[in-house]
Structure formats: C-alpha cells, structure tokens
Structure 1
Amino acid sequence: MKSKFKADLSKEKKLTPLLDLYYQKYLKHYTFERISHLNQQLQGIDLILKDKQSEKQFYVDEKAQLDYINESLPTFAFELFYHKNGNQKQGWLFDSSKKTHFYALVTSIYSDERDVFTSCNITFVNREKLMDHLKRKGLNSTFLKQLVYVHKQINGKLEVKELHPKTEGYLFFSTKNKAEKPVNLILKLDYLERIGVAKKLV
C-alpha cells in the first residue's frame, strides 16, 4: 500500500509542471496558486484559481488517471465509497467536508521513454452542477449508499437504470483486487460535456 502511495505521489509531482504549463497557456483570464498545505489538500483544494477581473476565487481538486499512463480512456471514476480499517468510508464525490468548486480531471496522460510526461487532457467539472444533475436523476448520496449496500458482494460493473451504460455511465465495485475496495461512479467524459457540467481545457 505505502509503496504504491509513494509511487503515485512521485508521479503527481512529475506531472505538475505539465499541468502548470497548460494552465498558463489556456486559463488566460485567471491566475493560479498551487497548494502544498496538507490541510487544504484534504479539503479538496490542490489549486486556487483567481479571476483577474472579479478576483473571485475557485478551489480546484486535481484528479489524474495515473494508473493508465499512455492510454486514453473515455471515462472517469468518481469515488463513492472506500474501506479503511474494515469500515466503509465516504468517498470524495459526496464528501461534504470538501470545499472543491471544480474537479480538474487529467486523462490521456502520455510519457516518453525517459518517463517524462509529454501530454495530457484536462477536463474541468463544475462540482455543484454535477451534484445537481445526479440529484435530478435520483442518484443522490443516500440512494447510492443503499444501492451499494444491497450489492456489496459484487465485484465489477453494475448497471443502474438511471444511466445508459454505453453513453452515460455505471457503478464499478473493486471489492477483490484493491485493498480499499472502492466503489466508483464511472461517467463518460463526453456525457459530462454534453449535459453542460464539464468543459475540456485541452
């Protein structure tokens, strides 16, 4: 567990310069500050964007597909629940202690033969709009918790009637192959753009 955690941190650190380069290039109307304070990171703040005109601030939580280097996936996994010390815990998506305004989903991460990251895609997701959309579909935290409890023995994909599995999304249980046994809401990136809760930066 620890070695994988350290490996992920190392990858995140190596990815940061590329992300900052893209932010500088494509977020023309904003200044950004990278957060290193652990307490703020635990509140879902990796980055603070500040509008140059209004000076309004937005908290951004970066989520990178670091397990899929040199692959391009059409989906992203939003964490609903995970296990720690034998107890089920709230995942980051519905965690009310998070102050996140936007998720920066980092996908299609490519590196060269020297393990230097060369390109990636970044999709910004408005957290509040995503929550509202899921709520309107009946996929709120309470409903999903009950659903996960009923199907807790499942390992793998679970289709739900509220989402079209091919064009929108589904649930995925990793009960056997991951120590934290996460349950994720898998959503298609183009679906998030289509419903107006996400915008691709690059």
Structure 2
Amino acid sequence: MTLKSHFLSDLEKEKKLAALLDGCYQKHLRHYDFIRVHDVKRQRQGVDVIFRNKKTGKEYFIDEKAQLDYINEDLPTFAFELLYVKDGGQKQGWFFDKSKKTDFYALATAIFSDEAGLYTSCKITLVNRQKLISLLVEKGLSQHSLRSNFADFTENHGKSTVAQLNEKTEGYLYFSKLNKAERPLNLILKLDFLKDNGLAKRLV
C-alpha cells in the first residue's frame, strides 16, 4: 500500500469517527452547543471542535485524539506525543506544542465497529490540557526536562519507566523506533490517573 493510500484511508477513518463523535456530543453535551471545525488552519492549531456554553457563550477549543490503530479494543491508557522525527530532525510533538490553541482533548478510546464500514460506539474522555501540563511540570516532567533527558530518543525502542510516575498506576514513556516512521516519543498515561487527579472526566 502506498503512502498516499494510507493517507486517504486515515482520512476516511477520521470522517467515520467524526460522525460517531458528533452523535455523542449531540446526546451527552447538555449545557453546551458544539461546532465542528473544517478549516485546516484551525485544525492544525489543535481545534477540531468548539464547545460553546449555552448560557454564557464561552467557547472551549477541543482537539480530538483517537485510538484508531486499536479498533475493537478497550485500552486503559492513552499516548501523548512529546517528540518525533521529520526530515532528519527532532520535532516538537503535539502535546507541548505552544502553537496549539487546545483547551481540552477529547480522547476517543474503546472504538468499536460492530457493523461493516461503521464505528458504532466509543468512550470519550475530556482532558484539561493546561491542568495536565501543570501537574506534569510539578512532577518534574516539563517540556525542557524531557527534551534534555531524551535528546537521543530515536536510538531507543519500547517502554521506559520514569522516576516521576508510577508505572502501574500513572504512566511511562514509550519509544517507537521500529513500528512508526516518525519514531515518536510518547508519554503513556493511565486514563484512571487523569480522572482521579481531576484532570479529566468521561463524557460517554
């Protein structure tokens, strides 16, 4: 399969998932209206959907992240991209990227396809981006410390524990040298850890 066909396949997956997520928002967002963003520039700024408070009109920018590589699986974790490689150089991942306007992540997990060609159900966890970053910085996991401590991350592969996080209940790092072209360094966090610390809540 060519790179182009992978790209088109990913777009089709995202389109199908967006239809499912819109249905979930319509059903479960009681105090908010939602607006799906189609402008590519805004999407690149980390804004896929806007939640608007029905009473105050206050808007929140939502970046949708989905476990589309794990259809029909219910994982207890989610990967936050810290660093990756492009054109031979180290690039900033989306999580600490200061150009992003994201207020909340909408993490789509446990995506099931019970009918051919359709995504039929999923879980959505809303994560406050700034609160999560602040907690990690308090623990000594700032953007600067991660970049300095893992400058040679492309030489590693697999799970790596960090002293600041309990591997079993909070999270760990994962280097994807072998199975991803971008060779990303991801921070894998437990969804329960996010919820228990008041950083996230389940919408669906």
TM-score by length of 2: 0.96
Alignment correspondent of 1:123: 125
Alignment correspondent of 1:168: 170
Deviations 1:64-101 (A, max 9, x none): 10000000100000000111111110000000000000
Q: C-alpha displacement at 1:146, in angstroms?
A: 1.4
Quote the Cα distance in structure 2 between the aligned partners of 1:87 and 1:150. 11
Alignment correspondent of 1:146: 148
Q: C-alpha displacement at 1:165, in angstroms?
A: 0.6
Are 2:62 and 1:60 aligned?
Answer: yes
1:132 to 128, 131, 134: 134
SS at match of 1:149: coil
TM-score by length of 1: 0.97
1:100 to 78, 99, 102: 102
User: More deviation in 1-10 or 170-179?
Assistant: 1-10
Q: Percent identity?
A: 57
Quote the Cα distance in structure 2 between the aligned partners of 1:114 and 1:177. 27
SS at match of 1:24: helix
In structure 1, runs of 5+ residues without a counterpart are none
Runs of 4+ in 1 over 6 A off after TM superposition: none
Quote the Cα distance in structure 2 between the aligned partners of 1:96 and 1:113. 39
SS at match of 1:162: coil
Quote the Cα distance in structure 1 between the aligned partners of 2:142 and 2:197. 17
Alignment correspondent of 1:179: 181
Q: C-alpha displacement at 1:116, in angstroms?
A: 1.1
Are 2:4 and 1:2 aligned?
Answer: yes
SS at match of 1:121: strand
Deviations 1:89-142 (A, max 9, x none): 000000000000000000000002413111000000000100110010010000
Count of matched residue positions in the alignment of Structure 1 and Structure 2: 202
